[in-house]
Structure 1
Amino acid sequence: MDKSLRLLKFLPVLIIFFLFPLKISADFEENSFITIVNPVRISHTTKNPKESLLAEYNEVKKRSLPATWLLTYDALKNKGIVELTKSMDSKQEFGIFLEVSPDFAQASSVSYNLADSWHRAASIFLSGYTQEDRIKLINKVMEDFKSLFGYYPKSVGSWWTDAFSLKYLEEKYGVIANLSVSDQFSLDEYRVWGTYWSTPYYPSKINASLPAKDLEEKIDILMLRWAARDPVNGYESPTEASSGMYSLQDFASIGLPFSYFEKLLSFYALRKDNNQFGHVTIGFEGDMPSNFYSGHYAQMLETVSNLNHIKILTMRDFANWYKNEFKGISPPQIIIADDFLDTGKKGIWFQNPNYRIGLLYDSKKKRLTVNDFRIYHKDFEEPFLKAVNRQNGLFISLPYVIDSIIKPDTKWVLPCGDLPAGRQDFVSSNKEKEVFLLNFKSCQIKFLDRSVELEGNIEPPQNLNLNSSINVKKKNNILSLSMEEKWIVPPEGITLNVQNLRIPFGLKRRFPNLPGFALVCFLIALALLLKVFKKKTIIFIPVLFLLIALFFKQKLYISQSEFEALMFLKDMPVGNVLVLDKDCSRCVFHSEFKPAAAAGYKKYIEKYGQKKIVQSLNFSLADSPEKIDREIKKARAKYIYFAKYEDYIEILSYPPENISNKLKKVFENANAQIWQII
């Protein structure tokens, strides 16, 4: 949503703020923290950068609060902003917001990825650039920061910073804290899905969305989470608004009262339910009009300043506390929240470095449902760790066992009955063994380090039994779900060694009749061979074909992320799959082997997706919605499958609403997209 529209939606809420100030419970809990972080950028909404930053700082200063200010490269080059930051009090921390702009790229001797908007993922995030260019960008902004402040910052951030960049920042510059968005399925075209639910963690060196399982794979940087999501509605929206809007940042944009912010703030900040700490990040970008900060932002800070028994720490100070408290890997967290919209539902999340599981209890229906279950496979590589993201959107997602958003029919209803009377009877834990228990009247759920145990009259659904990442065992009345540490496909993906003799798409696009012409030429040549060699042809022709096949053998690969898409396709109902007859001979890839889709080899889709494919040149060349409709009908297609790798991106060439066949996008991740013809 455009920022100007969001600001307008805040106005009714601001009136309520001052007419009816609300209070929040300040019950003391040890190890309860809030971190105030304000990213400072210069954008089209910034009329006077220094004036906006001063207005924001004044609200922090008048309440004598510590805050972290993350400055973009462009902000570091603004004299007014730099002068102001140097005049701020000693409670303030300064760091870097790692957003790439044209000026930043040029100063780093990097070619900027120009797009139709500055916020496109390929343009703004470091993952839109090669590893070599990421290093250049990081080195430039870190050195410029040091030349202004005299030291390298300990804290950085962006809405997404890849694992390669984080590891470099830790090893070369000693960074200890990074700000990233909390889980969001679809907001601003950025998807981060499957991470720790809105709480901090240490990331893996091969995937920043994975919590590290051991010291060897750990990046010693703490991931702080921006825009903590509602544990119930932040996963599955009750309205047409994106679920990501049910958060500490965007609640007012969808008409929710300030009391919603207060409840969500205290919920995450206060340590409870036998967790070892509570923490939440709040703040606002520094590119808003100056008058904005005396309203909504001021009310947020006033609420925080009234919480006398919660510690307010900067990113650096909280990261130091966390690193001192948890020297190894991240601790388990359990989240149990009554719906802040008062629907009688209860959101339950358990997460540790091995898995996360999300449950929803409906008190009216006395029904418990598993909505989300993900195993944190230590070898699942971030899709843009080595590869470059050339897409407008960001797709960071982890494989699921259960995901009621991506695949609703994986949802698992448990016959657990009603809740016990008291909260202490409902949730308990054994800290030494890191075991958490949920007690219902008809079942008990035990969250262990590497498994989940369910005691009661419970049967596993078929999709759980068939999932190769889960070991399902039942003994007596106890159902045990243990997890495989590694994913079904290794980080290097699946390597194919195939004969892939084909006419390049570039030639076929210029000469659509070339395949038929080539076939005629081949038949004429074959006839001439028959005439010249006569009986010897019986031996010669097989030898010729064998030599051609051997000569054109090609090693290709399928990524882990694309294989996840193929597993999704496999589980869909029977139907033909329409695919492009397309390749790219000039595209640049940073994998050892060329992606199979980019080489024009599509048979793997049929093999692993277990659906008949129809590879169509006319579909690839279609220059009108009517021609796309014609190819869908001709193929009798039930699905359309697209692959996406760096420079090679297959897309639907016209908006789905312009096509008479009703299309629904049923799956998308970093390397594939699947449409279903309804």
Structure 2
Amino acid sequence: MNQVNIINFIRGIEPREPVDLVEPVREQLALVQKHKLPATWLLQYDALIDLRFTDMLLEADPLQEVGIWFEVVQPMAEKAGIAWRGRYPWDWHSHVGFSVGYTPAERERLADVIMAEFYERFGYYPQSVGSWFIDAHLLGYLFDKYQIVASCNCKDQWGTDGYTLWGGYYNQAFYASRRNGFMPAQTAEQQIPVPIFRMLGSDPIYQYEAKLGSNGQSVITLEPVYSGDEGGGGIPAWVRWFFDVNFRPEQVSFGYAQVGQENSFGWQQIKDGFIDQIEQAAELRQEGKLTVVTLAESGRWFRRRYPLTPASSISALTDWRRQGHQSVWYNSRFYRANLLRQDGRLRLRDIHLFDENYEERYLESVCEERDSRYDTLPIVDGAQWSDDTKAGLYPVFYDESGAEVELAVRELTTDESRDGELRVMLELEDHSTAVLRFSEQEIAFAYTGGACKLGLRMVWGDTPEVPAIQASSDEIRYVYQDYGYSLKLQGVENVASKNSEFVLRAEANAIKLQF
């Protein structure tokens, strides 16, 4: 099952530069209706009270869904009895423009205001509410009081526009914890039963370690406005590669991508990429390779099918840049992991643990700064723990003399035929083989090619994001943001530690990491 949501969110004001905000909506709506495609239109409050937008959507065909984009704007705050603190009527800084900048009681008042306005305009309450990020208190309130069925949030990124969302469920969708709107829950009792779909479509090879600049991490996503050398949704060849990678015939659970763009960029900047993507989606739907549904339809489908967050994967076995890199992502409700093959070397460059008890910063507190941060619990972080040292967990061998030999991988292939499980087969340069098996609570690494013993070398740089780490033969213990957690180990004979690295040596030819 492969699903596309066309989600366009609509702002009523753009203070940064003059732009026609109506034209993009008019053109996007005409295009999706021409192709008889359903789409979801999420209205920010200033657009919700603007007849130019609401009249257009009220006249749209019945395939179109209208919902809410939850950023706070001046008329919304003032109607809720809250003094406006922004520089402009819409201010994108976290402590003004997002729910986290307000007390939990104020968040509820803001929600009631926008829901009442929506009901007055459309005669029903919206089923979908999206934002770059929504705190757990607000999301729970929207479900408990208004029974929303779906939400969406921003891709993983470091500091872009002042928003850090890092270590999350990488694509597809998840149920968040009642304590943390970014953290997948492990149990039905602690989850908010509203699936959150990840927006924007990150490049599965290059976005993770995209370069940092004055505005945070650069963007390599499906958004039509991006067409630079790094890749992005404004480049037709990149889009076709991205669809091929995400919409494979074989899936651990389902493939997913969000197509669309907010109106803030104006039509001229997005039209070529948007038109191309809509035509591609229509063609692939006609061929039976994917379905195009509204966000609410995806939410209802997800909840019927998955009582808990399912496992999912993305296997990028080809490289749009033709550099031969391969990247595999695996997510479950317990952890996420990324495996990268680069220049013949293999690296587990990212593992983040999911723990529903790890409380977000803004559950009860107010964000008082322009920047905000959501995160999960790092086990390995190849992006944020690297300096001159490229952080990661590297598989190695020990020959009969005890000498360490780095794994040299000729080719990486995947098997996603087992429900909830991803198997990665490695053909090594000496023609022997190894297998990594990702399942909901375990990563198992086995070498099947000879008498060599397996090892895992973990290294990291001297960066402020590195937690306290201690390793033994049965677990690795961490303390991050004053929160303690651990990774269980099986099959490890001994551990050798020094400075910013340690080596796990296997008893034989297999090691298991257990979550």
Gaps of 5+ in 1: 1-30, 484-678
Displacement after TM superposition at 1:227 (Å): 1.0
Which residue does 2:455 correspond to in 1? 459
What is the CA deviation profile of residues 491-538 of structure 1, one whole-angstrom value per residue up to 9, with x for unaligned ones? xxxxxxxxxxxxxxxxxxxxxxxxxxxxxxxxxxxxxxxxxxxxxxxx
- Is 2:313 the counterpart of 1:334? yes
The 1:382–1:389 alpha-carbon spacing in structure 2 relative to 1, beyond 3 Å, is same
Instruction: Select which of 472, 478, 481 maps to 2:513.
Output: 481
Which residue does 1:506 correspond to in 2? none
Which residue does 2:94 correspond to in 1? 121
The 1:473–1:291 alpha-carbon spacing in structure 2 relative to 1, beyond 3 Å, is closer
What is the CA deviation profile of residues 206-246 of structure 1, one whole-angstrom value per residue up to 9, with x for unaligned ones? 11211121210111111111111111101112797965511
Instruction: Select which of 239, 252, 266 maps to 2:227.
Output: 252
Q: Distance in 2 between matches of 1:125 and 1:361?
A: 38
SS in 1 for 2:263: coil
Q: Distance in 2 between matches of 1:386 and 1:98?
A: 18
Which residue does 1:314 correspond to in 2? 294
Instruction: Select which of 377, 386, 390 maps to 2:355.
Output: 377
SS in 2 for 1:61: helix
Amino acid corresponding to residue 133 of structure 1 in structure 2: E
> Kindly, what percent of the aligned residue pairs are identical?
23
Amino acid corresponding to residue 38 of structure 1 in structure 2: N
Tell me whether 302-311 or 372-381 shows the greater mean CA deviation: 302-311
Which residue does 1:437 correspond to in 2? 423
Tell me whether 78-87 or 236-245 shows the greater mean CA deviation: 236-245
Q: Distance in 1 between matches of 2:126 and 2:324?
A: 45
What is the CA deviation profile of residues 364-399 of structure 1, one whole-angstrom value per residue up to 9, with x for unaligned ones? x32100111111122111111111111111211112
Q: Is the Cα–Cα contact under 8 Å of residues 395 and 457 in structure 2 kept in the other structure?
A: no
Instruction: Select which of 61, 64, 72 maps to 1:89.
Output: 61
The 1:48–1:471 alpha-carbon spacing in structure 2 relative to 1, beyond 3 Å, is closer
Displacement after TM superposition at 1:430 (Å): 3.2
Q: Distance in 1 between matches of 2:410 and 2:357?
A: 38
Q: Distance in 2 between matches of 1:255 and 1:411?
A: 23
**Equivalent runs, 1:511-530 vs 2, <5 Å:** none
Q: Distance in 1 between matches of 2:193 and 2:488?
A: 31
Displacement after TM superposition at 1:62 (Å): 2.0
Displacement after TM superposition at 1:107 (Å): 1.0
Q: Larger strand proportion, structure 1 or 2?
A: 2
* Higher-Rg member (1/2): 1
Which residue does 1:578 correspond to in 2? none
Displacement after TM superposition at 1:108 (Å): 1.1
Displacement after TM superposition at 1:148 (Å): 0.9
Displacement after TM superposition at 1:92 (Å): 0.5
Higher relative contact order (CA 8 A, sep 6+): 2
- Is 2:180 the counterpart of 1:211? no
Q: Distance in 2 between matches of 1:382 and 1:404?
A: 23
Q: Distance in 2 between matches of 1:345 and 1:242?
A: 24
Q: Is the Cα–Cα contact under 8 Å of residues 252 and 258 in structure 1 kept in the other structure?
A: no
Q: Distance in 2 between matches of 1:124 and 1:234?
A: 26
Which residue does 2:400 correspond to in 1? none
Which residue does 2:399 correspond to in 1? none
What is the CA deviation profile of residues 437-458 of structure 1, one whole-angstrom value per residue up to 9, with x for unaligned ones? 2222442212232222222333
- Is 2:446 the counterpart of 1:472? no
Q: Distance in 1 between matches of 2:273 and 2:426?
A: 41
- After TM superposition, the score normalised by the length of structure 2 is 0.81
Displacement after TM superposition at 1:429 (Å): 4.9
Q: Distance in 1 between matches of 2:47 and 2:229?
A: 30
Which residue does 2:165 correspond to in 1? 192
Q: Is the Cα–Cα contact under 8 Å of residues 454 and 508 in structure 2 kept in the other structure?
A: no
Which residue does 2:409 correspond to in 1? 418
SS in 2 for 1:219: strand
- Is 2:328 the counterpart of 1:348? yes
Displacement after TM superposition at 1:110 (Å): 1.5
**Equivalent runs, 1:464-613 vs 2, <5 Å:** 465=471, 467-468=476-477, 469-474=486-491, 475-483=507-515
Which residue does 1:303 correspond to in 2? 280
Amino acid corresponding to residue 33 of structure 1 in structure 2: Q
SS in 1 for 2:121: helix
Which residue does 1:398 correspond to in 2? 376
Amino acid corresponding to residue 181 of structure 1 in structure 2: C
SS in 1 for 2:134: coil
What is the CA deviation profile of residues 256-314 of structure 1, one whole-angstrom value per residue up to 9, with x for unaligned ones? 4321122213422x144442211111101123434456433222212222211221100
Q: Is the Cα–Cα contact under 8 Å of residues 245 and 315 in structure 2 kept in the other structure?
A: no
Which residue does 1:27 correspond to in 2? none
The 1:396–1:211 alpha-carbon spacing in structure 2 relative to 1, beyond 3 Å, is same
Q: Distance in 2 between matches of 1:464 and 1:477?
A: 23
Q: Is the Cα–Cα contact under 8 Å of residues 272 and 278 in structure 1 kept in the other structure?
A: no
Displacement after TM superposition at 1:49 (Å): 4.1
The 1:419–1:427 alpha-carbon spacing in structure 2 relative to 1, beyond 3 Å, is farther
Tell me whether 39-48 or 334-343 shows the greater mean CA deviation: 39-48
Which residue does 1:536 correspond to in 2? none
What is the CA deviation profile of residues 101-156 of structure 1, one whole-angstrom value per residue up to 9, with x for unaligned ones? 11110011122332588110111110110000000000000011001111100001
Q: Distance in 2 between matches of 1:222 and 1:109?
A: 31
Q: Distance in 2 between matches of 1:79 and 1:437?
A: 52
Amino acid corresponding to residue 309 of structure 2 in structure 1: S
Q: How many residues align?
A: 444
Q: Is the Cα–Cα contact under 8 Å of residues 311 and 421 in structure 2 kept in the other structure?
A: no
Q: Distance in 2 between matches of 1:420 and 1:405?
A: 24
Q: Distance in 2 between matches of 1:180 and 1:125?
A: 12
Q: Is the Cα–Cα contact under 8 Å of residues 185 and 243 in structure 1 kept in the other structure?
A: yes
Q: RMSD value over aligned CA atoms? A: 2.3
Gaps of 5+ in 2: 397-406, 428-432, 448-452, 459-468, 478-485, 492-506
